[in-house]
């Protein structure tokens, strides 16, 4: 579909009718549902050979001038109308068709948080959309969205052509994946249609991060109020196996197993639960001076962050590195028993 390539080629998703037709051809009627007229008319028009004609307004008419040949052509006012494709409008339809949870959020120019992919109850992964115009720009966009969350993510791009080694390396390091709209969606006269479900396109990602997806075991998720952030979360240990959790007036009790922090046979807690207890012992801090300091804590902290993000449905990193502390600090309140 030429629309997906156009999203990468055009700096601003706007142009006169002739420009849209030149790029989209027979697909233009399918895309027209998203186009909106702009107030300001175009001051140049595309010629058939790819060059641009300068628009000049006279008192009673408007002409387009070819500065190379000097040829002047009178044009109708409608030919100057600029039609914009609002990104928020298109992205909303993309997210809805992919079946994502939550509403899209614009993060930067041509970058959105599309929503959350929920393969099973209790597991949520952020899905980002980035329309870079070359490999360097897409790499910068990928770095921006990766910095927003500690866990794995899904990066959606219009096509695959700008997925270079820098982006692939970043995704490998984050145990994340990319997928292109050109492989997922078709643009038809009825609107967007799935050509392949997102779950099928990221099957390896699901197997890696949601091993229980093929079985009957599903992890519960805390009923986090909309708009809550980590500063609203409070976890207090009641004993070695149970915590009291509250977020914005909602309170529950959970065991390590109910929070998804039990071993495969659920007979004992995971090392991530032990790390959570270590943060509680330090009142939310963990440094090399802590009793539970270990060179293995980096990976354990990443896994714990992923589980907490899925459990609470909050995408940002629940931990931050404090240079003055020379250690990690929880962004939520946590207390020992």
With 0-12 CB in 10 A as exposed, 13-18 as middle and 19+ as buried, what is 259?
buried
With helix as H, strand as E and coil as C, how does 27-39 read? HHHHHHHHCEECC
Contact 89, 81 (CB under 8 A): no
Q: How far is CA 87 from CA 94, 151, 172, 197, in A?
A: 10, 26, 28, 22
Q: What is the CA radius of gyration of the chain?
A: 25
Residues of the chain with pLDDT under 50: 213-217
- Three-state SS at 1: coil
Domain range list for the chain: 2-84, 87-208, 230-335
Cα 215–Cα 117–Cα 331 angle in degrees, nearest 5:
100
Tell me, what DSSP letter sits at residue 68? Answer: T
Q: Which long-range contacts (CB under 8 A, 24 or more apart) does 104-113 make?
A: 104/129, 107/144, 107/145, 107/148, 108/141, 108/144, 110/7, 110/141, 111/141, 111/144, 111/145, 112/87, 112/88, 113/145, 113/148, 113/315
Contact 312, 122 (CB under 8 A): no
pLDDT value at residue 204: 87
Bridge pairing between strands 154-157 and 177-180: parallel
204, two tokens: 């390896």
Phi then psi for 188, rounded to 5 degrees?
-125, 175
d(CA 230, CA 125): 17
Collect all residues with Cβ–Cβ distance below 8 Å to 280 and sequence separation of at least 6: 235, 236, 237, 334, 335, 336, 337
């Amino acid at each position: 579909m030429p629309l997906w390539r156009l999203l990468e080629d055009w700096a601003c998703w706007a142009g006169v009718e002739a420009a849209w037709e030149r790029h989209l051809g027979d697909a233009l009627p399918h895309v027209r549902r998203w186009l909106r007229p702009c107030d300001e008319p175009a001051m140049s028009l595309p010629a058939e050979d790819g060059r641009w004609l300068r628009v000049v307004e006279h008192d009673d008419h408007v002409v387009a001038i070819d500065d190379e040949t000097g040829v002047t052509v009178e044009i109708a006012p409608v030919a100057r109308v600029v039609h914009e494709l609002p990104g928020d409008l298109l992205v909303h339809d993309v997210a809805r068709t992919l079946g994502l949870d939550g509403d899209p959020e614009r993060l930067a120019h041509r970058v959105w948080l599309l929503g959350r992919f929920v393969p099973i109850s209790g597991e949520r992964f952020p899905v980002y959309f980035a329309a870079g115009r070359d490999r360097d720009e897409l790499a910068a966009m990928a770095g921006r969205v990766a910095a927003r969350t500690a866990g794995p993510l899904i990066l959606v791009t219009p096509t695959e052509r700008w997925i270079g080694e820098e982006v692939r390396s970043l995704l490998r390091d984050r145990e994340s994946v990319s997928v292109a709209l050109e492989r997922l969606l078709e643009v038809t006269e009825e609107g967007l249609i799935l050509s392949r479900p997102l779950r099928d396109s990221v099957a390896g990602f699901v197997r890696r991060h949601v091993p229980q997806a093929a079985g009957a075991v599903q992890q519960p998720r805390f009923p986090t109020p909309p708009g809550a952030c980590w500063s609203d979360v409070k976890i207090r240990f009641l004993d070695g196996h149970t915590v009291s959790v509250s977020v914005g007036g909602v309170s529950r009790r959970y065991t390590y197993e109910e929070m998804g922090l039990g071993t495969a046979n659920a007979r004992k807690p995971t090392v991530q639960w032990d790390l959570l207890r270590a943060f509680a012992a330090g009142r939310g801090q963990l440094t090399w001076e802590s009793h539970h300091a270990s060179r293995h804590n980096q990976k354990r902290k990443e896994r714990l962050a992923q589980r907490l993000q899925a459990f609470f449905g909050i995408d940002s990193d629940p931990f931050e590195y404090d240079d003055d502390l020379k250690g990690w600090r929880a962004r939520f309140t946590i207390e020992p028993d």
